[in-house]
Amino acid sequence: MTAPAEGTATAPAELARRYGTPLYVYDLDRVRAARQDLFGWLPAGFEVFYAFKANPHVDLVRALRDGEGPGCKAEISSTGELAAALEAGYPGSDILYTGPGKTYGELREAIACGVRTFSAESLSDLTHIGEVALEHGVVADCLLRINSATASATTSIRMTGTPTQFGIDSETVPEIAERLCSVPGTSVAGLHLFSQSNARDEAALIGELTHTIEVAAQIERDLGVELRLLDIGGGFSVPYAQLGERARYPGLRAALESSLDEHFPRWRTGGVRLAVESGRYLSGDSGTLVAGVTNVKVSRGKKFVIVDAGINTFGGMSGLGRLLPVSVQVEADTETEKASLVGPLCTPGDMLGRGIEVPAGLAPGDVVTIPNTGAYGPTSSLLMFLGRPSPTEAAVSGGELVSLTRIERTRTPVPQERAGE
């Protein structure tokens, strides 16, 4: 599937001409294609939780749920994401609430809205979930998030095997099993393991996911309860602001089936639900960022193209160290030249690409187009930093504009009797 053709009304450059820059365009047809592909790589019956963190845009998350074929469920981690999920029509029963710092306030809100499935990151987190469930007279189904002591392969982002705020250390499960399984207001429904992100290589992905299934089988024995839902994580990959295509995993289904046959044979008869989770794979290639050139200058022989989209608009998280520094590519159907693509912010960190190929002879008023920017865009950027307006976000489908919105940030008074609640 390709982006809407140049010259059509919903082509990114055309929308940018009409509505200005910086502009994100999300092609919902591509979102649906990614969803169909991901379900296609998995054994029949697998569930997919969409990690709202990647992009909580309501039209995008609605496209992941509605329509033909199996739809996604929601993996959320805040009341903001909860609101987006509910607005997009996800029932509470299709929502998994995760995160290492769940407050009583957000647990109350989630349970009041019908959420019944939580990932518990520690015994104390599990206890908090149970307290709030009891207040509401319900039992919360909890997935114990496991921080596995072992990993099968090296991937770019590691969250397991080391000390971390995420999950229960796998080696401690035998000694705390009884306590984990007897927290009032909770029922240990299953496990949640998430050990990698963005595994381009199919063998690495299969290695990690099948290892996860083995770890889950061991944990089930340690707990001594029959689990009902295994969320084995993800790692499905798509280029990030680079040209290219979503990864393909043609061997994944058979590998998962044989690992499950060995470790959870009851899966064949529906004895345990299975799930993966994914953010970037489902949303990444739907997005195109169009930035306007505001100035071009040369400094000591190097060309700088200054655009109106910086790390306040895209890639702002990379400064935090968990993501690689952003280095975008721009689309070019003409001759190119080397330049640094920088944003408008008053910090040398506002660099989208150092010495990259850009269309030759860019001048103020031109636009550059950055592909594969549907995941980790505005909501993972420094939207507030230096006070520029948020980018405009257009959702398009079938050649039609579905919505045109912008995230507004305003300072509002906090009612003083509620401050600090």
Give the interface with ligand PLP as residue ranges (CB under 6 A): 51, 53-54, 75, 98, 194, 197-198, 234, 236, 277-281, 375
Q: Rounded to an integer, what distance in angstroms lies between the CA atom of residue 383 and that of residue 241?
A: 18
CA angle, 260 then 263 then 267, to 5°: 50
Q: Count other C-beta atoms under 10 Å from residue 364's C-beta.
A: 11
**Closest to ligand PLP by CB, 345 or 375:** 375
CB of 165 to ligand PLP, least distance (A): 11
> Does residue 187 contact residue 233 with C-beta atoms inside 8 Å?
no
> Nearest-CB residue to ligand PLP?
279
> Does residue 130 contact residue 183 with C-beta atoms inside 8 Å?
yes
Give the DSSP H or E segment for 50.
strand 47-51
CB of 7 to ligand PLP, least distance (A): 32
> Does residue 39 contact residue 46 with C-beta atoms inside 8 Å?
yes
> Does residue 159 contact residue 134 with C-beta atoms inside 8 Å?
no
**Closest to ligand PLP by CB, 97 or 236:** 236
Sequence-ordered list of residues with C-beta below 8 angstroms from that of 90, at least 6 positions apart, any chain: 61, 65, 73, 74
Q: Is the peptide bond before 22 cis (omega within 30 degrees of 0)?
A: yes
Short-list 277, 286, 289, 285, CA closest to 367: 289
Sequence-ordered list of residues with C-beta below 8 angstroms from that of 351, at least 6 positions apart, any chain: 311, 325, 326, 340, 341, 342, 343
> Does residue 88 contact residue 110 with C-beta atoms inside 8 Å?
no
CB of 278 to ligand PLP, least distance (A): 4
Share in percent of the chain as helix, strand, coil (round to 5): 30, 25, 45
**Closest to ligand PLP by CB, 279 or 315:** 279
**Closest to ligand PLP by CB, 31 or 307:** 31
**Closest to ligand PLP by CB, 193 or 339:** 193
**Closest to ligand PLP by CB, 140 or 362:** 140
CB of 281 to ligand PLP, least distance (A): 6
Short-list 389, 406, 409, CA closest to 309: 389
CB of 419 to ligand PLP, least distance (A): 30
**Closest to ligand PLP by CB, 32 or 192:** 192
**Closest to ligand PLP by CB, 240 or 264:** 240
SS3 for 144? strand
CB of 263 to ligand PLP, least distance (A): 22
Q: What are residue 191's DSSP bridge partners? A: 144, 230
**Closest to ligand PLP by CB, 155 or 392:** 155
CB of 5 to ligand PLP, least distance (A): 29
b/e map of 246-270 (b: 16 or more CB within 10 Å)?
bbebeebeebbeebbeebbeebeee
- The owner of tokens 């809100």 is 109
Q: Rounded to an integer, what distance in angstroms lies between the CA atom of residue 236 and that of residue 223?
A: 29
**Closest to ligand PLP by CB, 13 or 140:** 140
CB of 196 to ligand PLP, least distance (A): 8
